[in-house]
Amino acid sequence: MSAETIFIQHLVNGLLLSGIYGLVAVGLTLIYGVLEIVNFAHGEFYMLGAYFTFIASAWLGLPYYLSIILAVVSSALIALLVERGAIRPIVERPFESKVLSTFAISMILANVVLLLFTATPQTVRTGIAGTLEFAGVFFSVERVVALLTGYLAFLALHFFLQKTRLGKAIRAVAQNREACYVVGIDLNKMARLTFTLGIGLAGLAGALIAPIFSIEPSMGQAVVLKAFAIVIVGGFGSVKGAALAALLVGLGESLVGGYVSATLKDGLSFLIIMLVLIIRPQGIFGRTTRVL
Amino acid sequence: MVSSLQVKRIGGLMLYCIIVAGILIVPFLIQSPYILHILILAGIYLILAQSLNLMLGYVGFLSLAQTAFFGIGAYTSAILAVTYRQPFWIGLILAIILPSLIAAVVGIPFLRLSRHSFVISTLGFLLICWLVARNWVEVTRGPLGIPGIPSPTLNLFDLVEVSFSSRASYYILMMTSVLIITLFLIKLVNSRIGRAFIAIREDEALAQSVGINTLKYKLIAFSISAGIAGVAGSLFAHYITFLDPTIFEFYNLEHVLVITLVGGSGTIGGPILGSVIFTILPEVLRVAKEYRLIVYGIILLSTVLLMPEGVGGRFKTYMHKRRLKGVYAK
């Protein structure tokens, strides 16, 4: 393989990672914007999405596109339950309660999955395996599907937030809660909707990544830190910032992993978190006023 | 005439002596090495829980880096004992100094942040430590771990040599450390410095406006709590005699969070109560480790939802109300 081919493959892998991280991070940033909760259990819902895909394709024998839908719907349903039981009671509480509550949810979910599926990594077979050739470079079909679906979901989310009444209401809550009371936006409903939407996006990310990497109960912990890094770089609560930062982190990881070292690739997002928090706590793309 | 205050003080002192004697006499009454093992581990987690309690309960900053300092202390002690053949006491002292220094350095940027960002940056710090322990193979031996960490010995001017290799003697060493740290913390939180911590917890902006240098006091608290976590790490390494990067795993963090929160953060008695509960509970429940973490998660969630002040905090409020009632009755 020529150096160019390798570079293009790293680039495409980076774009794929960016899409996946972006879906997880956007949910995290939306939930922070509307509920003012840093959801430490977010990675676990990504993991659940992957496991639901596994159940749907390996146990129920559903085709891949149906498995994805099932995974998203199931994660969203669990999110509804979690919102009702553990998020709504603590929305008005001090920040430690919020952190510890979501931390406890992450403990419960990760260990229930560990108990049911053991720590052994599982693989998901989709029936669409194969390779595509484009300009002399080979890509696996699953990766291309994941990449395109991820970016399509992003576009759909952008359209939803910018053009529809509900999306505008969500953005309004994130900007000014008191004003929302005045114009009659139901905050509880918006909180529930945002939480479910954010978790659904994380579930989708998990469903898309499931056939590409092997899945294991601890996969959520690895990804949630990257999502934190993205949200911190993008500025807490900013969707555009998260999308741009996801590109940065995904491409950065892929290129650093390919050309520098695998260890540095794993540590990259932590280093980004540290550096950004020290130098520019409001995030690189964040507003100059401190949101947090 | 002896005033009632003096009676109270003498009574308190006697009660204290009885508790100390009671704790130290345990290994002579209980011969079971299993129970001693459980008690030693409970002591280690209690020290770690107190270090978290100092940050969360007194300064109001949730630090997930306490298990990182625990691990750093353990590695410092283990490497000095195994690679450099230094006695236990030098390892222990450095296991206090090194985490404190690291905390002071990383604390300067971290503690300037909001409470949310502080949590995330301490989590990032913990994961970096984990990564370093796994990949800095020349020093930490990576995932292979460091075997054969010797039991501590105390050499008193070449006259007497005490070895802490048996369970009973290690238990005495453990509980002495627990007592020293508990007394130190009681002194600390009731001192001028401790009151500054509480002022920061209650309202940082207000504390600043009355002239408290909040960053300085937060750094002091973070350094001290890191040093305490380092003690727990050193005692852990020399007790288990084997150390690998799994010390940074979330299991320790979750265990300590549950002990602190359920016991009640913001009181010295709370984590003690929590560690008593969570020493007895798993033995009574007799559940496997996987179930245990699920149960811990449920307990943590219920505590946050139903009783955020913890068992110790609720008891304190109850006693306070009773005392008020007594005052009004008079």
Give B178-228 as a 3 state SS string. Answer: HHHHHHHHHHHHCCHHHHHHHHHHHCHHHHHHCCCCHHHHHHHHHHHHHHH
- Taking residues B254-258, what's their average pLDDT? 86
Q: What Rg, from alpha-carbon coordinates, does chain B have?
A: 21
Give the helix ranges, DSSP H, for chain B: 4-29, 33-53, 66-82, 88-110, 115-135, 137-140, 167-189, 192-202, 204-209, 214-240, 250-263, 269-285, 289-306, 310-329
Q: Who among B123, B128, B301 is closest to A105 (CB)?
A: B301
Q: Who among B62, B116, B121 is closest to A273 (CB)?
A: B121
Per-residue model confidence (pLDDT) at position B293: 80
pLDDT at A291 over 60: no
Phi, psi of B255 (to 5 degrees): -55, -45
Residue ranges and CATH numbers for the domains of chain A are: 3-120+129-279 (1.10.3470.10)
Per-residue model confidence (pLDDT) at position A292: 36
CA nearest A46: which of A250, A270, A221? A221
Per-residue model confidence (pLDDT) at position A288: 44
CA nearest B225: which of B310, B106, B80? B106
Choice among A165-174, A263-272, B49-58 with the minimum mean pLDDT: A263-272
Contacting residues for A144 by C-beta, under 8 A, at least 6 apart: A132
> Please, what is the Cα angle at B227 between B221 and B229, to 5 degrees?
100
Residue B183 CA to residue A271 CA, distance in Å, equals: 38
Shortest distance between the Cα of B308 and any Cα of chain A, in A, equals 7
The answer, for B111 touching chain A at a CB cutoff of 8 Å, is no
Contact A107 B125 (CB under 8 A): no
> Please, what is the Cα angle at A221 between A257 and A206, to 5 degrees?
80
Residue A76, CB half-sphere, CA atoms under 13 Å: how many? 17
> How confident is the model over A244-268, as pLDDT tens digits?
888 888 888 888 888 887 777 777 8
Q: Which residue has the tokens 């960053």?
A: B215
Q: Indicate whether this complex's ipTM tops 0.90.
A: no
**pLDDT-based confidence at B143, cuts 50/70/90?**
confident
Per-residue model confidence (pLDDT) at position B158: 65
Q: Who among A86, A93, A112 is closest to B294 (CB)?
A: A112
Residues of B in contact with A95 (CB under 8 A): 62, 115-116
Q: Who among B261, B294, B304 is closest to A115 (CB)?
A: B294
Residues of B in contact with A115 (CB under 8 A): 290-291, 294
Residue A257 CA to residue A17 CA, distance in Å, equals: 12
Residues of B in contact with A99 (CB under 8 A): 62, 116, 119
Residue A186 CA to residue B243 CA, distance in Å, equals: 53
The CA dihedral of A26, A28, A30, A35, to the nearest 10 degrees, is 180
Choice among A32-41, A262-271, B256-265 with the minimum mean pLDDT: A262-271
Q: For testing the chain A interface, which of B117, B122, B137, B303 should be mutated: the one with the most A CBs within 10 Å?
A: B117
Contact B123 A105 (CB under 8 A): no
**pLDDT-based confidence at A55, cuts 50/70/90?**
very high
* pTM exceeds 0.90, yes or no: no
Q: Which residue has the tokens 């075997």?
A: B147
Residue B53 CA to residue B39 CA, distance in Å, equals: 20
Contacting residues for B147 by C-beta, under 8 A, at least 6 apart: B241, B242
Shortest distance between the Cα of A290 and any Cα of chain B, in A, equals 9
Average per-residue pLDDT for chain B: 84
Choice among A37-46, A206-215, B43-52, B282-291 with the minimum mean pLDDT: B282-291
**pLDDT-based confidence at A284, cuts 50/70/90?**
low
Shortest distance between the Cα of A291 and any Cα of chain B, in A, equals 9
Q: Who among B123, B135, B261 is closest to A100 (CB)?
A: B261
Residue A103 CA to residue B126 CA, distance in Å, equals: 15
> Which residue has better confidence, A194 or B152?
A194
The answer, for A102 touching chain B at a CB cutoff of 8 Å, is no
**pLDDT-based confidence at A206, cuts 50/70/90?**
very high
**pLDDT-based confidence at B68, cuts 50/70/90?**
very high
Structure tokens, A97: 């309660």
Contacting residues for B86 by C-beta, under 8 A, at least 6 apart: B80
Phi, psi of B293 (to 5 degrees): -70, -35
Contact B131 A111 (CB under 8 A): no
The answer, for A104 touching chain B at a CB cutoff of 8 Å, is yes
- Taking residues B275-296, what's their average pLDDT? 77
Per-residue model confidence (pLDDT) at position B55: 92
Contacting residues for B43 by C-beta, under 8 A, at least 6 apart: B171, B174, B175, B177, B178, B235, B275
Return the amino acid letter for A273. I
> How confident is the model over B71-81, as pLDDT tens digits?
999 999 999 98
pLDDT at B224 over 90: yes
pLDDT at B157 over 90: no
Residue A273 CA to residue B124 CA, distance in Å, equals: 7
- For residue A92, the chain B residue with the least C-alpha distance is B305
The answer, for B293 touching chain A at a CB cutoff of 8 Å, is yes
- Taking residues A52-72, what's their average pLDDT? 90
> Which residue has better confidence, A283 or A159?
A159
Beta-carbon neighbour count of residue B97 at 10 Å? 16
pLDDT at B265 over 50: yes
Per-residue model confidence (pLDDT) at position B228: 95
Q: For testing the chain A interface, which of B105, B112, B120 should be mutated: the one with the most A CBs within 10 Å?
A: B120
Residue B270 CA to residue A128 CA, distance in Å, equals: 56
Q: Is B188 exposed, middle or buried (0-12, 13-18, 19+ CB in 10 A)?
A: middle
> Which residue has better confidence, B185 or B145?
B185
- Taking residues A61-69, what's their average pLDDT? 88
- Taking residues B257-264, what's their average pLDDT? 86
Contact B117 A232 (CB under 8 A): yes
**pLDDT-based confidence at B3, cuts 50/70/90?**
low
Per-residue model confidence (pLDDT) at position A204: 94
pLDDT at A40 over 70: yes
